[in-house]
């Protein structure tokens, strides 16, 4: 599977189902904090998403905390998603330089590797150019990258809203660089992470999100407080055109552990998210 048909998938279903098995959620399901419970959580959410949502987003940290046993669960989850035809966006937010960045890219974007996903979240805040190895491998294998641009956490403003010597916002430079790389590709594979709760921040910083050619992954919907009106306000035509992939995690999995209950909630959210006219 490649990420090249992301737009068709997002048109069919704008929802990305986050798989975030943090300890509190595991406990709410009445499960112990063990790798086996991690596997149960991941499998039940994936089963609910299959044939409904087109994307899942496992949060790598919650698997890593269980060591090799947790990583094995993540490997199995990514393999099962491939078999089910569900695109995986691995939320690992990797960002480094040189051969280390190339190593991360190889681990998560090379189809020959056990942790290969269809797309990966990356951090550009060691310099956007430091992501070049990941961008090159994504292009080679038809994988996607989601570059952190405007995140919803308050601390992000200190860096993302800062101005360069030329007077441009750092986040605007991230968006510009991502668009330049997309312009060199036959299909725009480089996307952005932009929180649904940022309000007018993009416009205030001179960023024209509706004109961005790639996909936008938007956390913040549901439990974090954003609704459809926020998505429409933040993303405009990008949302109505089906270029925004909306992530929801806890608002879905809190319906568990019954996969059927989660599936019902996924269906309800997809219908609520589908822009009018589609």
One digit per residue, pLDDT tens: the chain, 278 residues?
Answer: 689 999 999 999 999 999 999 999 999 999 999 999 999 999 999 999 999 999 999 999 999 999 999 999 999 999 999 999 999 999 999 999 999 999 999 999 999 999 999 999 999 999 999 999 999 999 999 999 999 999 988 899 999 999 988 999 999 999 999 999 999 998 999 999 999 999 999 999 999 999 999 999 999 887 667 789 999 999 999 999 999 999 999 999 988 789 999 999 999 999 999 876 55
Our answer to whether residue 93 is catalytic in this structure is yes
> In the block, which residue shows the tokens 């991230």?
174
Burial of 210 (0-12, 13-18, 19+ CB in 10 A): middle
Query: Is residue 180 included in any domain, yes or no?
Result: yes
Structure tokens at 95: 């960002």
- The per-residue b/e assignment along 105-129, b for 16 or more CB within 10 angstroms, e otherwise, is bbbbbeeeeebbbbbbbbbbeeebe
Range of the domain at 195: 5-273
Query: Is residue 278 included in any domain, yes or no?
Result: no
* Tally of residues, the chain: 278
Query: Is residue 188 included in any domain, yes or no?
Result: yes
Query: Is residue 219 included in any domain, yes or no?
Result: yes
If DSSP codes are grouped into helix, strand and coil, which group holds residue 246?
strand
Position 260 scores a pLDDT of 93
Query: Is residue 82 included in any domain, yes or no?
Result: yes
Cβ atoms 162, 116 nearer than 8 A: no
C-alpha dihedral, 196 to 20 to 92 to 60, nearest 10°: 180
What is the domain-level CATH number for residue 41? 3.20.20.70
Q: From CA 216, how far away is CA 246, in angstroms rounded?
A: 8
Q: Which residues pair with 250 in a beta bridge?
A: none
Query: Is residue 200 included in any domain, yes or no?
Result: yes
Position 277 scores a pLDDT of 53
Which among 57, 93, 143, 276 is annotated as catalytic? 93
Position 278 scores a pLDDT of 53
Query: Is residue 198 included in any domain, yes or no?
Result: yes
Query: Is residue 49 included in any domain, yes or no?
Result: yes
Number of domains making up the chain: 1
């Amino acid at each position: 599977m490649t990420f090249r048909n992301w737009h068709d998938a997002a048109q069919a279903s704008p929802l990305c189902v986050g798989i975030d098995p943090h300890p509190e959620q595991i406990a709410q399901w009445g499960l112990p904090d063990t790798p086996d419970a991690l596997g149960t959580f991941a499998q039940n959410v994936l089963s609910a998403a299959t044939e409904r949502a087109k994307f899942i987003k496992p949060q790598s940290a919650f698997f890593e905390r269980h060591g090799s046993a947790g990583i094995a669960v993540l490997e199995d989850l990514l393999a099962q998603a491939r078999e089910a035809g569900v695109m995986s966006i691995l939320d690992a937010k990797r960002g480094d330089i040189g051969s280390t960045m190339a190593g991360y890219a190889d681990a998560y974007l090379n189809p020959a590797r056990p942790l290969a996903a269809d797309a990966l979240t990356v951090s550009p805040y060691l310099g956007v150019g430091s992501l070049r190895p990941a961008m090159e491998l994504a292009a080679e294998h038809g994988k996607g990258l989601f570059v952190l641009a405007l995140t919803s956490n308050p601390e992000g403003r200190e860096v993302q809203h800062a101005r360069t010597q030329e007077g441009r916002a750092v986040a605007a430079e991230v968006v510009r660089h991502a668009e330049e790389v997309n312009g060199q590709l036959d299909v725009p594979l480089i996307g952005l992470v932009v929180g649904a709760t940022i309000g007018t921040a993009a416009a205030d910083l001179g960023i024209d999100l509706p004109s961005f050619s790639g996909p936008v992954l938007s956390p913040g919907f549901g439990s974090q407080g954003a609704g459809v009106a926020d998505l429409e306000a933040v993303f405009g035509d990008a949302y109505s055109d089906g270029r925004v992939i909306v992530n929801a995690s806890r608002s879905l999995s809190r319906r568990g552990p019954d996969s059927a209950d989660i599936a019902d909630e996924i269906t309800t959210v997809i219908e609520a998210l589908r822009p009018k006219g589609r």
